[in-house]
Amino acid sequence: MSTTRPAPHAPRATSGLVDDETTGIPSFEASGGDWSEIAEEAARLGEERIVVNMGPQHPSTHGVLRLMLEIDGETVTEARAGIGYLHTGIEKNMEFRTWTQGVTFCTRMDYVAPLFQEAAYCLAVEKLLGVTADVPERASVIRVLMMELNRITSHLVCLATGGNELGATTIMTVGFTAREEILKIFELISGLRMNHAYIRPGGVAQDVPAGGVEATREALKNVEHYLRQLEDLMLANPILQLRLKDVGVLNLAGCMALGVTGPMLRSAGLPYDVRKTDPYCGYETYEFDVPTVTSEDAWGRVEVRLEEIYQSIKICRQALDRLEKEPGPVMVADRKIAWPAQLAIGADGMGNSLAHIKEIMGTSMEALIHHFKLVTEGFRVPAGQVWQTVEHPRGELGVHLVSDGGTRPYRAHFRDPSFNNLQATSIVCEGGQVADVVVAVASIDPVLGGVDR
Amino acid sequence: MSDEKTPDELKKDAAQAVKPGEGTTEAQRTTATALEAGSQHLPEGGRTTLDVVAVRQGLFGARDSGDTSGFGGLVSTVALPGPSERPYGGWFDEVVDVLAELLDASGTGFANAVESVVVDRGELTLNVVRDHVVEVCRHLRDDQDLRFELGLGVSGVHYPHDTGRELHAVYHLTSVTHSRRLRLEVAVSEADPHIPSTTGVYPGHDWHERETFDFFGIVFDGHPGLARIEMPDDWPGHPQRKDYPLGGIPVEYKGATVPPADQRRSYS
């Protein structure tokens, strides 16, 4: 790839905006503590119309989201979202790494639901390679298991932080305790709590370790226990009902126009779920429902997410049953694609198995060359482009991959559901109270790592 | 090879030829036929121009040493899958037929609006002329037999080798009603990177078009507020273009230096 011509000007940081329009306007800087001085000064100025900059560093904006609110008294008359504070150029970086290394990058986009990016990306690479049908059954089952576990953790984070932002710390602690159970399973199976890079083009990095299935069953039991606590805390809570009902309303027409998918769309009554409409990884063989409500508000989204967790647990149990039945390969048989490493846990942590090292270093020079070539150079993917979507906890995640026939993606684009859904910020916030902004944004459930990529 | 050359000169040419990257000698020169023969997805009978995305020289990406493999003089072009012939298969024919009917009825004409239809890997792509992209979107969204009511976004691709059509905007449409997916592709040149905005049909394309403008410099005319979205407002250049460097610094570790990712050897 040609990267010879430098940018016209060297990139630099942006300085603060100071011009004729911004000078002379009274501005205040508010942080924690008492704001009575600011309130007095605002009252003295007698200006009812105030523009409030919420974020980008604010605990209730889910990361570095910047909200610009124009408020009249307590009413939000205009709301705008500013993003880009977490843009790290992951898509550009992926163009300079092999197809397999791409997984390590895209897993870091939406860090609350990393396995969905991995799965979507790998499905897209497999479609480009034309090996979709060759991916072993067991690998698909493990992918489904990992994705559904991840959906549970993601929804738990959404509910927990949403509660925390309203001052309900117990909702947060219960939610995160439940999530911890699954993070332990992630660590057991993939070796990492997040940024797993576990799903690889052609299958998964390694099989579920011995005892993994039993541990997952146990964890799911614990999650159900915490989930019932969470339900009791949330669904029967009159304060939460008052705060969430009829707040952040977005109807079906609004959702479709803005391309909003996921729990927000299902809270408007449409049971659109990619797992049902365009199944991948064998989702058509699992029994589960797509929960919907018709309240179109933040409360409905809480109900949908809670029910989706139960459905995910149901899918996880079916996947675990299949994993118990019989062992099998977890990577395509084609040695030109399959990652050559054989991971094993040694005294110093996880690494290549000693048997594999012994083979490539001691007995087979061809195996060593093969390992070296595949790891450093990677495999070639026939030229073309594909579009693959999966049902992400926040909506429809799309991956647009273009290959130029080389060992690296020519272009990798991720249509992140949070990015798209954040466009609804204005419509769900405007006309409401300032305090409802927090609820409305929490019900969109944006994760800025995915938004900015 | 030309007749007037002496054997000595020819020998010199051959010696030059094995030095990769020096394509000035006769032995090195590759004919258009050879370029096509070496390309992937060669269209039958040479009907259309190739959608060339890359031209490769040699193998293994080794350009800094002698040609030990003997493949140093190899020149090959890579092209994306070309236009497909009917029948496209499945529901693709039906959708194209309905769209053709609507476009012909409106006076635009299918042939004027849609450059080509590509079916590859079970996916349907319509290459649309930029002036008619909004009309095509409107038909795709509104007609009851099409109903692509969900616009999932716009992404850009930069093909510096696709002369005169360097910048592509790719629209991903979904029909919830019929469970179908379709891709529209609009190509424009770097010199005139203007495409009419589709936000009037799919309001959700607002941020996606801003992102594509930000990263590729494609100007979506009629967009309600085409500002940068990820990069700072005063950022120079469009980072996802192929001629924009990735950046990075060499990293020293235990005495050895690892160059930044875009300066490492590329095997492609």
CATH number at residue B140: 3.30.460.80
Window B:8-37, CB contacts with A under 8 Å: none
Residue of B nearest to A7 (CA): B244
B188 domain-assigned: yes
Residue A115 has pLDDT above 90, yes or no: yes
CB neighbourhood size of A33 (10 A): 7
Q: Is B142 on the interface with A (CB under 8 A)?
A: no
Output A188 or A49, whichever has higher pLDDT.
A188
The reported pLDDT for the residue numbered B44 is 45
pLDDT-derived band at B238 (thresholds 50, 70, 90) equals very high
Say yes or no: A235 and A348 in one domain. no
Q: Which two tokens stand for residue A74?
A: 């307590």
Say yes or no: B98 and B53 in one domain. no
The reported pLDDT for the residue numbered B157 is 92
Say yes or no: A134 and A210 in one domain. yes
Amino acid at B16: Q
Q: Shortest Cα distance from B194 to chain A (angstroms)? A: 21
The pTM score is 0.85
Say yes or no: B101 and B74 in one domain. no
Which one of B52, B80, B108 terminates a domain?
B80
Residue A128 has pLDDT above 80, yes or no: yes
Q: What is the mean pLDDT of residues A301-325?
A: 93
Q: Is B205 on the interface with A (CB under 8 A)?
A: yes
- Select from A184, A108, A156 the least CA-distant residue to A313: A156
The three-class DSSP label of residue A433 is strand
Say yes or no: B38 and B113 in one domain. no
Q: What is the mean pLDDT of residues A149-154?
A: 94
Q: Is B183 on the interface with A (CB under 8 A)?
A: yes
pLDDT-derived band at A61 (thresholds 50, 70, 90) equals low
Say yes or no: A255 and A348 in one domain. no
Residue B51: CB partners within 8 Å, gap ≥ 6? B79, B80, B82, B159, B162
CB neighbourhood size of A114 (10 A): 30
pLDDT-derived band at B57 (thresholds 50, 70, 90) equals confident
pLDDT, tens only, B98-138: 999 999 898 888 888 898 899 988 899 999 999 999 999 99
Most confident of A10-19, A108-117, B158-167: A108-117
B149 domain-assigned: yes
pLDDT, tens only, A409-436: 999 999 999 999 999 999 999 888 888 9
Q: What is the mean pLDDT of residues B6-35?
A: 46
| Interior angle at CA A408, CA A407 and CA A411, nearest 5 | 145
List strand residue ranges (DSSP E) for A121-209, in order: 199-200, 203-204
Say yes or no: B109 and B214 in one domain. yes
pLDDT, tens only, B95-109: 999 999 999 898 888
Q: Are B117 and B88 in contact (CB under 8 A)?
A: yes
CB–CB of B155 and A415 under 8 A? Answer: yes
Residue A154 has pLDDT above 80, yes or no: yes
CB neighbourhood size of B178 (10 A): 17
- Chain A residues whose CB is inside 8 A of the B169 CB are none
Q: What distance separates the 2 farthest-apart alpha carbons in chain A?
A: 85
Which one of A355, A376, A397 terminates a domain?
A376
B115 domain-assigned: yes
Task: Locate all alpha helices (DSSP H) within A363-433, ordered by sequence.
Answer: 365-376, 417-421, 425-429
The reported pLDDT for the residue numbered A334 is 87
Q: Are A158 and A150 in contact (CB under 8 A)?
A: no
Output A144 or B83, whichever has higher pLDDT.
A144
Say yes or no: B55 and B160 in one domain. no
Give how far Cα A70 sits from Cα of A35, A61, A238, Å. 19, 17, 30
3-state helix, strand, coil in chain B (%, to 5): 25, 25, 50
- Chain A residues whose CB is inside 8 A of the B176 CB are 256, 270, 272, 277
- Chain B residues whose CB is inside 8 A of the A5 CB are 243
Say yes or no: A190 and A208 in one domain. yes
Residue A390 has pLDDT above 70, yes or no: yes
Most confident of B28-32, B71-75, B140-144: B140-144
Residue B55 has pLDDT above 80, yes or no: no
Output A59 or A190, whichever has higher pLDDT.
A190
Q: Is B80 on the interface with A (CB under 8 A)?
A: yes
pLDDT, tens only, A272-306: 999 999 999 999 999 999 999 999 999 999 999 99
pLDDT-derived band at A259 (thresholds 50, 70, 90) equals very high
The reported pLDDT for the residue numbered A15 is 55
Say yes or no: B52 and B125 in one domain. no
- Select from A444, A280, A125 the least CA-distant residue to B181: A280
B257 domain-assigned: no
pLDDT-derived band at A17 (thresholds 50, 70, 90) equals low
A98 domain-assigned: yes
CATH classification at residue A319: 1.10.645.10
**In this prediction, what percent of chain A has a pLDDT beyond 70?**
92
Say yes or no: B138 and B194 in one domain. yes
Prediction ipTM score:
0.85
- Chain A residues whose CB is inside 8 A of the B264 CB are 96
Say yes or no: B41 and B65 in one domain. yes
Q: Which residues of A297-334 are buried (b: 16+ CB within 10 A; e: fewer)?
A: bbbbbbbbbbbbbebbbbbbebbbebbeeeeeebbbee
Q: Shortest Cα distance from A180 to chain B (angstroms)? A: 32
pLDDT-derived band at A6 (thresholds 50, 70, 90) equals very low
Which one of A351, A376, A401 terminates a domain?
A376
The reported pLDDT for the residue numbered B85 is 83
Q: Which two tokens stand for residue A57?
A: 């560093």
B19 domain-assigned: no
| Interior angle at CA B121, CA B136 and CA B206, nearest 5 | 40
The reported pLDDT for the residue numbered B25 is 38
pLDDT, tens only, B197-230: 999 999 999 999 999 999 999 999 999 989 899 9
B233 domain-assigned: no
Q: Shortest Cα distance from A7 to chain B (angstroms)? A: 6
The reported pLDDT for the residue numbered A213 is 92
Q: Is B42 on the interface with A (CB under 8 A)?
A: no
The reported pLDDT for the residue numbered A405 is 83
Q: What are phi and psi of B221, to 5 degrees?
A: -70, 135
Count the domains in chain A: 2
pLDDT-derived band at A62 (thresholds 50, 70, 90) equals confident
Say yes or no: B217 and B97 in one domain. yes
The reported pLDDT for the residue numbered B37 is 46
Which one of B221, B237, B261 terminates a domain?
B221
Which one of B59, B80, B101 terminates a domain?
B80
CB–CB of A2 and B236 under 8 A? Answer: no
Residue A314 has pLDDT above 80, yes or no: yes
Q: Which two tokens stand for residue B113?
A: 């609006």
- Select from B224, B113, B227 the least CA-distant residue to A83: B227
Window B:160-179, CB contacts with A under 8 Å: 160, 170, 172, 174, 176, 179
Q: What is the mean pLDDT of residues A305-330?
A: 91
Q: Are B205 and B198 in contact (CB under 8 A)?
A: yes
- Chain B residues whose CB is inside 8 A of the A408 CB are 266, 268
Q: Are B189 and B195 in contact (CB under 8 A)?
A: no
- Chain A residues whose CB is inside 8 A of the B208 CB are 415, 420
The reported pLDDT for the residue numbered A319 is 93
CB–CB of A405 and B78 under 8 A? Answer: yes
The reported pLDDT for the residue numbered A350 is 73
Residue B17 has pLDDT above 70, yes or no: no
- Select from A410, A259, A178, A156 the least CA-distant residue to B241: A410
Structural domain including B54 reads 32-80
Most confident of A13-27, A340-354, B60-74: A340-354
- Chain A residues whose CB is inside 8 A of the B211 CB are 419
CB–CB of A83 and B229 under 8 A? Answer: yes
Count the domains in chain B: 2
Say yes or no: A222 and A131 in one domain. yes
Say yes or no: A220 and A267 in one domain. yes
Structural domain including A352 reads 343-376
Q: For chain A, what is the mean pLDDT?
A: 87
The reported pLDDT for the residue numbered B27 is 38
